[in-house]
Chains A and B, each alone.
Chain A
Amino acid sequence: MDGTGIVIAFWVFAAMTVGAALLVVALRNLFHAALALIVAFAGMAGLFVTLSADFLAVGQVLIYVGAISILVIFALMLTPLAGRHNGESRYALPAGGAAAGLAAVVIYAVLNVDWPLRGGEGFDETAALLGEALLDTWVLPFEVVSVLLLAAMIGAIVLVRGDGE
């Protein structure tokens, strides 16, 4: 089950991610493009699971599928006449060029790196190991993160509410 299941899962999630990503570019309605982006994010989370990066998958679902997509949709709803229209843009050509260049670099790297392959001895759970490291050895940086988040939270309020209130 282990071998074929992962292969099937990989192809399903890969098709889901690439298909949704193509929809993001192709859809004319900006809001629909944002929804397709969420599907692409979710497919990425699945790919992380097949790579046995379970913490990364949870992070992907929480941050990208959950929060980043909310921010994108909020930004759309808050922008006057965000067009809901993904019409022809004069940036189409340079953007296409940049995307092609990036794809070329990634394909070159994938084909030319001698990837070390792990044997099929199964997968480890990374989240528990990370938890032990974070709350034991690296507990101070862990607490500092909450101070950073506190600063972000207060900064958001100060920025949005302005001085008058």
Chain B
Amino acid sequence: MLGEYGHASFLLIVGLVFPAGAIFTSWLFGRLHLRPAISNPVKSETYECGVESEGTAWVQFNFRYYLFALLFLVFDVEVLFLFPWAAAFDTLGVGGFVAAMIFIGILVIGFAYDWKKGALEWVK
């Protein structure tokens, strides 16, 4: 059981080594003069999905965006309660499936309410 989490730690190691390796390789090639070191303003701009970035990221956001965070939290807790169901899916059978569907169904009511109220519309 715990050994399976040992495999997950492999991902942690890759996640740490990969970016560090990329930065180190770039630095190393720079030191060896294999990497051209030509800088210009466009090149050193912040990358933002290929679109030219506008202004600073440190602006105050509309308060209404907090609603998305709160809704995300609710659905996140829902996923947490569905996780044990997924872990015991084989042994629970049809009864467990029905119970979980009722659980999701009640939350879908809330989702439908959100949608109806336009709470999921992007605030302009």
Contacts and interface: CB of A to CB of B under 8 A. Distances in A.
Interface in B55-86: 58, 60-67, 69-74, 76-81, 83-86
Contact of A157 (B63, B84, B91, B117): B117
Interface in A34-65: 49-50, 52, 54-55, 58-59, 62-63
Interface in A129-165: 129-132, 134-136, 139, 142-143, 145-147, 149-150, 152-154, 156-157, 160-161, 165
Interface string A106-136: 0000000000000000111101111110111
B23 interface: no
A-side binding surface: helix, strand, loop or mixed? helix
Is the contact region of chain B dominated by helix, strand, or loop, or is it mixed? Answer: helix
B46 to A, nearest CB: 15
B106 interface: yes
A123 B85 contact: no
Interface in A59-82: 59, 62-63, 66-68, 70-71, 74-75, 77-81
